[in-house]
Structure 1
Amino acid sequence: MLYTFPELIALLIVICGIVLQTWFGIGFGLVAAPLLFLINPSYVPGPILILGTSLSVLVVSRLMLMNNQGEFSWRRIAPAIFARLPGAWLGALLLVSIPAWSLSLLFGVTLLLAVLLTWKVFKVQTTKTSLIIAGFFSGLIGTATSVGGPPMALVYQEQNRITIRNELAAFFLIGTPFSILALYLQGNIDTEIAMLSLKMLPGVIIGFWLANKFDGNISPKSAKPVLLLVSAVSALLVIGKGLSGWLGT
Structure 2
Amino acid sequence: MLYSSLELLALLIVTCSIVVQAWVGIGFGLLAAPLLYLIDPAYMPGPVLMLGWMLSLIVVVKQRHTLNWRRVFPAILARLPGSWCGALLLVSIAAWQLSLFFGSALLLAVWLSLRRYSLPLNKVSLTVAGFLSGVLGTSTSVGGPPIALLYQHEARLTARNEIAAFFLVGTPISLVMLWLNGGAELVSVSLILKMIPGVVVGFWLSRHLERVISAQSARPAILFISAVSAIVVLVQGVMGGIAS
Q: TM class, shorter-chain normalised?
A: 0.7 to 0.9
CA distance in 1, matches of 2:185, 2:214: 40
Report how far residue 95 of structure 1 moved: 4.3
* Counterpart residue number, 1:189: 184
2:198 is paired with a residue of what secondary structure?
Answer: helix
Matches of residues 141-152 of structure 1 in structure 2 within 5 Å? 141-152=136-147
Does the aligned pair in 1 maintain the 2:145–2:226 contact within 8 Å?
A: no
Unaligned runs of 5+ in 1: none
1:134 is paired with a residue of what secondary structure?
Answer: helix
Q: Does 2:83 match 1:83? A: no
* Counterpart residue number, 2:36: 36
Give the letter for the 1:78 counterpart: F
Q: Does 2:49 match 1:49? A: yes
Give the letter for the 1:128 counterpart: K
Does the aligned pair in 1 maintain the 2:47–2:188 contact within 8 Å?
A: yes
CA distance in 1, matches of 2:156, 2:188: 32
1:190 is paired with a residue of what secondary structure?
Answer: helix
Does the aligned pair in 2 maintain the 1:83–1:132 contact within 8 Å?
A: yes
Which is worse superposed, 126-135 or 206-215?
206-215
Report how far residue 182 of structure 1 moved: 1.3
Which is worse superposed, 101-110 or 1-10?
101-110
CA distance in 2, matches of 1:194, 1:76: 34
Deviation by residue 1:168-216 (Cα, 9 ceiling, x = unmatched): 1111111211111111121113165444433332221121111112221
Q: Does 2:18 match 1:22? A: no
Report how far residue 234 of structure 1 moved: 7.6
CA distance in 2, matches of 1:106, 1:198: 36
Distance 1:105 1:37, change over 3 A: farther
1:208 aligned residue (203, 211, 227): 203
Q: Does 2:170 match 1:175? A: yes
Matches of residues 43-192 of structure 1 in structure 2 within 5 Å? 43-64=43-64, 67=65, 69=66, 72-95=67-90, 122-190=117-185
Report how far residue 246 of structure 1 moved: 4.2
Which is worse superposed, 15-24 or 213-222?
213-222
Task: Tell me the TM-score normalized by structure 1.
Answer: 0.78
Report how far residue 106 of structure 1 moved: 7.0
CA distance in 2, matches of 1:52, 1:5: 23
Which is worse superposed, 201-210 or 230-239?
230-239
Report how far residue 82 of structure 1 moved: 0.4
CA distance in 1, matches of 2:219, 2:172: 28
Deviation by residue 1:44-71 (Cα, 9 ceiling, x = unmatched): 433222111110111111123xx4x1xx
Distance 1:205 1:105, change over 3 A: farther
Which is worse superposed, 53-62 or 184-193?
184-193
Unaligned runs of 5+ in 2: none
2:184 is paired with a residue of what secondary structure?
Answer: coil
Give the letter for the 1:15 counterpart: T
Distance 1:19 1:43, change over 3 A: same
Figure out how many residues of one structure are paired with residues of the other and give that number: 244
Report how far residue 15 of structure 1 moved: 1.5
CA distance in 2, matches of 1:10, 1:182: 26
